[in-house]
Structure 1
């Protein structure tokens, strides 16, 4: 089925419905962030336990990306999106009734699987369903739904936890109701893929051909650094803001944690205004400044650093990530493009999970403040390495 004809038949309602489902699913993945201090108080979790809870989410994302990354080309977009949103709803049910570590870990794995399915499939579906009159805003809507949803998750949950009763129940109940509405939107949307006569479901292979490595390595290092900060924002920020700075309001914690993703959305939107050959170096430089501001916030124990740092770092991460992904995709041979892009995303989600676990382990020995400063130093070093590699390349090849 022709994608443009399908989009025309589906109209604006199908496009907006798919974007809503995308954003809502991503909201669900970050809702627990401002609730972590409440979980700690309720169940007696350590900071290491909190980081592990977050890390299993990233494992779910990576598993879904690798296993189901190409399934929507075979089964269709709608079945995969329906599966993703229903798994997200199942995560809400698990969190709603969670009374200990086991159910919470299971809920995070389900949440990660739903995000992994949506990260690839929903981006393509939103682009395929965009009406002709809105073609120019299609990529921006997909970006805003993805990163904007990740940013709104902690903000919404934090406000609900601060202003309404049952902070460990109400956010998930509300999200569950909206997830069922999103499933209805997906059910009514037109399919944009024609199933092949013989369906072949294969695991996405990771691959970086030699001719792509010169572009891939600095872009992947920049992405690794940026997503390390994303992992920090959604797993460790609550402990810093609450434990180190003494601000225990869930709404404030949610805003601080979510601001990086909102800023990343802005960065991805404005990167088109930058010179193509300099987008990735500029993104790395802005990310470096944001990381230094965050380090100042940790060292001086000031909230200003935790507000300015994530905003600046988020803008840099958004610029660098979109520019790096675009450069990698453009440099990849057609027959290897999907594998290379999947490898790029896996690098990003490894960066979200493993360093955060390291923070939890090291913090139990050195304390959270010193560990956070060492973490920032590592991110800054990666930014400098990526910048060095990029600036050594000829300008014509950098974008």
Structure 2
């Protein structure tokens, strides 16, 4: 997962070499989500059929191919290809690695296993910008060294995969059939799915903004151009996301989601204020609030949707929710790039903040209405 966010603080260097517009830069980032969604739809259930280890091995192969592409002399088609390959690897890891960690853990450690899987996922996403930003700050061949380090880490992961036990057993013919995901939400799960999807869309749109456009925001709007600063700010939102998930892990999702939506609304307001006042401290506060709110909404939303879905369709419904999340991390950011080129970066970021805040407010209203109806029914 670290490899998927390595380019974030390096987009300025790619822009210098290739003359990337804001739209092209955000499109390069969004190509990653295209790969994730393709992998989720085509192979989301493959590890149930073929085993966790084979699917993870294929994922490592795609990740290594992405790193090799990025090690080549940079071109726009190369950046797009590298991002798609990286997205495919992440899509393969998302389900198979989480399932493997859960299955290897003893029953008494189920909660710890879930937190480990989350920390590895989001922690990896946050570590990528820090690594690349530090290398760029030190000027150690910044378009080479991060990807070489990534390849070394993938080799270690491959060695670990050789010795880890397989958790899917039994004859292949008796295992679930491998078929493409058909995104669908049964009627009994829709009341939980809609607010989870809307709030998750808002939170993941903010993650996409920080992953794709944050270095440009720092440099053009706040006059902060250090690559390490760009990497640190991007890492902060992911670290805050992990914090939000851990802090709310013992709380009921029904109580976490409304609070998370309110925090998302506050975070988008802080983000807008930081641009209006040209304030880096306010931007850092907005980043921490948005990250924690996104993490809380993400964990609670997935838990609520999983609990509301019929057991035989739970994986399908949760995977559909993840497809919504990855659309959210890409499509709005491409819109930011297009609007930045035509109306200016400040207007574009404020527009995304308004969109995310509006969605968070809508999700909060839906949750409060649902709670009131439930109270009336039970009363």
TM-score normalised per structure 1: 0.90
Written as runs of structure 1 = structure 2, the 5 A alignment for 1:150-169 is 150-169=125-144
1:333 Cα deviation from its structure 2 partner: 0.7
Aligned residue number for residue 28 of structure 2 = 53
Does 2:64 correspond to 1:89?
Answer: yes
Written as runs of structure 1 = structure 2, the 5 A alignment for 1:106-145 is 106-131=81-106, 134-145=109-120
Maintained 8 Å contact 1:285/1:387: yes
1:169 Cα deviation from its structure 2 partner: 0.4
Aligned residue number for residue 149 of structure 2 = 174
Maintained 8 Å contact 2:49/2:172: no
Closer, same or farther: CA 275–207 of 1 in aligned 2, 3 Å: closer
Maintained 8 Å contact 1:76/1:195: no
1:135 Cα deviation from its structure 2 partner: 4.1
Aligned residue number for residue 382 of structure 1 = 359
Does 2:241 correspond to 1:264?
Answer: yes
CA-to-aligned-CA distance 1:109-150 (integer Å, 9 cap, x gap): 000000001111111111112256744411111110011111
1:99 Cα deviation from its structure 2 partner: 2.5
Maintained 8 Å contact 2:264/2:294: yes
Which of 194, 200, 213 is residue 169 of structure 2 equivalent to?
194
How many residues in Structure 1 have an aligned counterpart in Structure 2?
A: 373
Task: Say which SS state the counterpart of residue 330 (structure 2) adopts.
Answer: helix
Aligned residue number for residue 360 of structure 1 = 337
TM-score normalised per structure 2: 0.95
Maintained 8 Å contact 1:284/1:386: yes
Closer, same or farther: CA 163–341 of 1 in aligned 2, 3 Å: same
Task: Say which SS state the counterpart of residue 172 (structure 2) adopts.
Answer: coil
Deviates more, 1:330-339 or 1:28-37: 330-339
Closer, same or farther: CA 165–316 of 1 in aligned 2, 3 Å: same
Aligned residue number for residue 280 of structure 2 = 303
1:294 Cα deviation from its structure 2 partner: 1.1
Which of 251, 254, 257 is residue 280 of structure 1 equivalent to?
257
Maintained 8 Å contact 1:74/1:196: no
Separation in structure 2 between the aligned mates of residue 99 and residue 273 of structure 1, nearest angstrom: 46
Separation in structure 1 between the aligned mates of residue 280 and residue 145 of structure 2, nearest angstrom: 28
Task: Say which SS state the counterpart of residue 202 (structure 1) adopts.
Answer: coil
Separation in structure 1 between the aligned mates of residue 172 and residue 345 of structure 2, nearest angstrom: 56
Separation in structure 1 between the aligned mates of residue 322 and residue 56 of structure 2, nearest angstrom: 19
Does 2:75 correspond to 1:100?
Answer: yes
Q: Any gaps of 5 or more consecutive residues in structure 2? A: none
1:201 Cα deviation from its structure 2 partner: 2.3
Maintained 8 Å contact 1:207/1:336: no
Which of 29, 46, 59 is residue 4 of structure 2 equivalent to?
29
Maintained 8 Å contact 2:31/2:80: yes
1:396 Cα deviation from its structure 2 partner: 9.4
Separation in structure 1 between the aligned mates of residue 111 and residue 357 of structure 2, nearest angstrom: 35
CA-to-aligned-CA distance 1:324-376 (integer Å, 9 cap, x gap): 11000100012221211111000000001110111111111110001111111
1:178 Cα deviation from its structure 2 partner: 1.1
Maintained 8 Å contact 1:332/1:340: yes
Q: Any gaps of 5 or more consecutive residues in structure 1? A: 1-25
How large is the Cα RMSD of the aligned pairs?
1.6
Task: Say which SS state the counterpart of residue 274 (structure 1) adopts.
Answer: coil
Maintained 8 Å contact 2:271/2:282: yes
Aligned residue number for residue 228 of structure 1 = 205
Which of 225, 229, 235 is residue 252 of structure 1 equivalent to?
229
1:64 Cα deviation from its structure 2 partner: 0.4
Maintained 8 Å contact 1:147/1:264: yes
1:211 Cα deviation from its structure 2 partner: 1.5
Separation in structure 1 between the aligned mates of residue 148 and residue 228 of structure 2, nearest angstrom: 18
